[in-house]
C-alpha cells in the first residue's frame, strides 16, 4: 500500500469535520429564577410582563409561582435569584436575616372580600374588612381560606386577629384549602362561601357563579408587592448552584424603571388596570 494512502484518509477526515469546527459556539441562554406569587401568575401579569423584559434585555425569567411564604423559603435556600412577593412583614424579616438585599416597592393592588350574592352575613357595601369577617363568624357562614401561608392568607389571618376571632375555632364553616387563589375561588363558588382575594385574580376568574364583590376600599386591604434580590454571599458557588446576581439585578432595576413601570401599568383585563406602579394606586 502506498505510504500516501493513510495520509490522504487523514486529510479527508479533517476536511469532513472542518465545517463543523468553523461553526460558532451556541451561546448559553441568559435566565434567572424568580420565586413569586400565584396572583401574579394566575392573573396573567407575567404572561404580559416577561416577554417585554426578555425582548429588552435578552434575559429569560423562569417563574416559580407559589404562596409568598413558600417563595420566601425558596429564596432562603438559594433556589431562586430574586423574589416578587406581597407580605411586607415577611419580606422585612427575610432581609433582616441576611437572605435578601435591596427590597424595593414595585406595585400594588388591593384585596376584596367576595361572597354569594344572597349575602347571608350581610356584608354588602361595608368597608371595614375586620368587621366583615366578624359578621361571617357570627352568621356561621362558610368561609374558604387559602390556608397556604401565602401573602393573601397572611393578610386574611391578620384581619381575623383584628376582628378578635379565632378562625380555626369556627369549626366546619371555616375551610382551609391549602390551595392557590384560583382553586380557592373555585371552591368558594361551589360552596357559596365568602373568601378574600386579590382584585387581579378576581378580574381574570371566570367561574364566579353566585360570587360578587361585597367589601372593598378598606386601607387594610391595600396589597403592595416588593422585589428582593437573593443575597449571593449566602450561597457561594463552591457548595450551591450559583446565584445569577448580575442578571437578577438587571431584572430588579428594570421593574422599578420607567420602562418597567409602564409595562406593569399597561396590563389590563377587559380594559381595567389591575396592578399599579408604586405611588399610582387609586382609591376605590
Q: What percent of the chain has pLDDT over 90?
A: 77
Q: What percent of the chain has pLDDT over 70?
A: 87
Closest CA to 76 of 243, 246, 265, 251: 243
**Given the C-alpha cell 375555632, which residue does it identify?**
169
C-alpha 238/C-alpha 169 separation (Å) is 48
Closest CA to 88 of 270, 281, 240, 227: 227
* 30-108+224-277 matches 110-221 in fold: yes
C-alpha 225/C-alpha 105 separation (Å) is 6
Residue 69 has pLDDT above 70, yes or no: yes
Could you report the per-residue pLDDT of 79-101, keeping only the tens digit for each? 999 999 999 999 999 999 999 99
Average pLDDT over every residue of 161-176: 95
Residue 33 has pLDDT above 90, yes or no: yes
Residue 21 has pLDDT above 80, yes or no: no
Least trusted range by pLDDT, from 18-32, 110-124, 179-193 = 18-32
How confident is the model at residue 2, as a pLDDT?
Answer: 47
Could you report the per-residue pLDDT of 194-251, keeping only the tens digit for each? 999 999 999 989 999 999 999 999 999 999 999 999 999 987 664 555 789 999 999 9
Average pLDDT over every residue of 58-77: 95
3-class DSSP assignment, residue 25? coil
How confident is the model at residue 10, as a pLDDT?
Answer: 44
* Alpha carbon distances (Å) from 235 to 239, 248, 249: 7, 15, 16
Query: What is the residue-wise DSSP string for 101-143?
Result: EEEEEEEEEEEEEEEETT-TT--TT---HHHHHHHHHHTT--E
* DSSP E strand boundaries for 199-251: 211-215, 222-230
Q: Mean pLDDT for the chain? A: 89
Residue 115 has pLDDT above 90, yes or no: yes
| CATH 3.40.640.10 for the 30-108+224-277 domain, yes or no | no
Residue 121 has pLDDT above 90, yes or no: yes
* Residue 148 DSSP code: S
Average pLDDT over every residue of 129-156: 96
Least trusted range by pLDDT, from 23-27, 129-133, 268-272 = 23-27
How confident is the model at residue 267, as a pLDDT?
Answer: 96
Containing 30, the helix (H) or strand (E) segment is strand 30-36
How confident is the model at residue 240, as a pLDDT?
Answer: 52
Could you report the per-residue pLDDT of 34-67, keeping only the tens digit for each? 999 988 988 899 999 999 999 999 999 999 999 9
Residue 7 has pLDDT above 60, yes or no: no
Q: In CATH, what number does 110-221 get?
A: 3.40.190.10
Average pLDDT over every residue of 173-180: 94
Q: Where are the domains of the chain?
A: 30-108+224-277, 110-221
Amino acid at each position: 500500500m502506498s505510504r500516501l494512502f493513510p495520509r490522504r484518509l487523514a486529510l479527508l477526515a479533517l476536511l469532513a469535520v472542518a465545517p463543523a469546527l468553523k461553526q460558532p459556539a451556541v451561546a448559553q441562554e441568559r435566565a434567572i429564577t424568580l420565586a413569586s406569587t400565584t396572583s401574579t401568575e394566575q392573573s396573567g401579569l407575567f404572561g404580559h410582563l416577561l416577554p417585554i423584559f426578555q425582548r429588552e434585555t435578552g434575559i429569560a425569567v423562569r417563574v416559580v409561582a407559589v404562596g409568598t411564604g413558600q417563595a420566601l423559603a425558596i429564596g432562603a435556600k438559594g433556589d431562586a435569584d430574586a423574589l416578587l412577593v406581597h407580605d411586607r412583614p415577611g419580606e422585612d424579616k427575610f432581609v433582616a436575616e441576611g437572605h435578601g438585599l435591596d427590597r424595593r416597592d414595585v406595585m400594588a393592588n388591593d384585596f376584596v372580600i367576595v361572597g354569594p350574592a344572597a349575602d347571608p352575613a350581610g356584608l354588602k357595601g361595608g368597608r371595614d374588612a375586620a368587621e366583615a369577617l366578624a359578621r361571617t363568624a357570627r352568621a356561621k357562614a362558610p368561609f374558604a381560606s387559602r390556608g397556604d401561608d401565602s401573602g393573601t392568607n397572611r393578610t386574611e389571618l391578620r384581619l381575623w386577629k383584628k376582628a378578635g376571632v379565632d378562625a380555626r375555632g369556627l369549626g366546619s364553616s371555616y375551610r382551609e384549602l391549602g390551595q392557590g387563589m384560583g382553586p380557592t375561588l373555585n371552591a368558594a363558588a361551589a360552596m357559596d362561601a365568602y373568601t378574600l382575594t386579590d382584585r387581579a385574580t378576581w378580574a381574570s376568574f371566570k367561574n364566579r357563579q353566585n360570587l360578587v364583590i361585597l367589601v372593598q376600599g378598606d386601607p387594610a386591604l391595600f396589597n403592595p408587592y416588593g422585589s428582593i434580590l437573593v443575597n449571593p454571599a449566602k450561597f457561594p458557588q463552591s457548595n450551591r448552584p450559583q446565584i445569577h446576581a448580575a442578571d437578577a439585578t438587571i431584572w430588579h432595576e428594570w421593574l422599578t424603571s420607567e420602562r418597567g413601570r409602564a409595562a406593569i401599568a399597561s396590563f389590563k383585563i377587559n380594559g381595567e388596570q389591575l396592578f399599579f406602579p408604586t405611588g399610582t394606586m387609586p382609591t376605590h
